[in-house]
Amino acid sequence: MEKNIITVTGGTGYIASWIVKYLLEKGHEVRITVRSKSDVAKYQHLLDIERDTTGKLLIYEADLLKDGSFDEAVNGADYVMHTASPFFLDDKGDTKKKLVDPAVKGTENLLNSVNKASSVKRVILTSSIAAIFGDNRDLADNNAKAIDESMWNTTASLTHNAYSYSKTEAEKKAWEVSEKQNRWDLVTINPGFVLGPSLTKRVDSTSINSLLRILRGDLKAGSPDLEFLYSDVRDIANAHILAAFTKIAKGRYIISNESGNLLKVAKYIEEEYPGKYRVPKGVVPKFIICLLAPTIGFTRKFVRNNVGFPLKGDNRKSINELNMCYKSLKETVLDHVKQIESDNLI
């Protein structure tokens, strides 16, 4: 297989770590960007992985908000994968500064560097299904059976689902910049809620923290009937690589295989580890969630528009064009719990 130079932004992250691992195992030269090169603890696991592979890892410092910051890491690269973006679900405070600016300006900034680098053939943007729909009720409101790649989130804002807004605006910006030129093409990966084993012991990543909270009993009194589309972190990493190296890859790809509420996740854990974790066993009625909303980190508008609405995703484009093979949610969850246990995170 041809060896390439691939730049991965946000190389320290949960998803990016798996992308970098797979690329190194295939023998590529991987350039990661990190916020601070001196914070070696955040990427030591990748240096360790590199030692056992034929690939080569290079570390660059880059800041999403600093013009020209990505020039060096991108110059000479064949492919660029842009994963760096703040990921936390919080509508409080200055969401423009915390979420939207780093996502949107960061994307524009990176693509300006790509425009300067004649070597780059394709950019893979880690977007999200959050750029495809806003609230779970959007499906019913649009008489749709499942979300697909033709849809856009039209309901998120700085004060309602601000993270989703940051992903929507960032992806729109990427298409806008890409359409002004014809040297490189853009492919987006739109994951659902990502779970699965982490390559590090970090627990500040929203995905990792969410499963830990379920295991620690934060929802022992019951969980809201809130449905998610789930993705396996290893499937998401594979999808980035398939999107880069599959010639016909084009446009957006929903990468998710199963949906359901958190009771589905809890059931897999309870069946495998009976009585060991205080996972939720039932659903809390919507009116109670609505009453409690402000005290449990939700707005009432979020509860009204999301709790109790089924969610489905159409992943056929990923299967037909990228040849995606998916892991089951059960395997994803149980592998994640195994990693949490073996790393003594609980």
Q: List contacts with ligand NAP (CB under 6 A).
A: 10, 12-16, 35, 42, 64, 83-87, 102, 126, 128, 167, 191, 193-194, 205, 207
Residue nearest to ligand NAP (CB): 13
Q: Between residues 18 and 268, which has the closer beta carbon with respect to ligand NAP? A: 18
Report, in Å, the least distance between residue 177 CB and ligand NAP: 17
Report, in Å, the least distance between residue 137 CB and ligand NAP: 20
Q: Between residues 88 and 287, which has the closer beta carbon with respect to ligand NAP? A: 88
Cβ-in-10-Å burial (0-12, 13-18, 19+) of 89 comes to: middle
- Pairing status of strand 258-260 against strand 251-255: unpaired
Report, in Å, the least distance between residue 198 CB and ligand NAP: 8
Nearest to 65 by CA among 20, 24, 32, 96: 96
Task: Please work out, in degrees rounded to the nearest 5, the angle formed at the alpha carbon of residue 2 by the alpha carbons of 14 and 244.
Answer: 45
Q: Between residues 55 and 191, which has the closer beta carbon with respect to ligand NAP? A: 191
Yes or no: say if 200 and 49 are a contact pair by the CB < 8 Å rule. no
Report, in Å, the least distance between residue 143 CB and ligand NAP: 25
Report, in Å, the least distance between residue 150 CB and ligand NAP: 19
Q: Between residues 1 and 178, which has the closer beta carbon with respect to ligand NAP? A: 178
Q: Between residues 43 and 302, which has the closer beta carbon with respect to ligand NAP? A: 43
Q: How many CB atoms lie under 10 A from the CB of residue 323? A: 10
- Pairing status of strand 79-82 against strand 5-9: parallel
Report, in Å, the least distance between residue 128 CB and ligand NAP: 4
Q: Between residues 41 and 140, which has the closer beta carbon with respect to ligand NAP? A: 41
Yes or no: say if 62 and 73 are a contact pair by the CB < 8 Å rule. yes
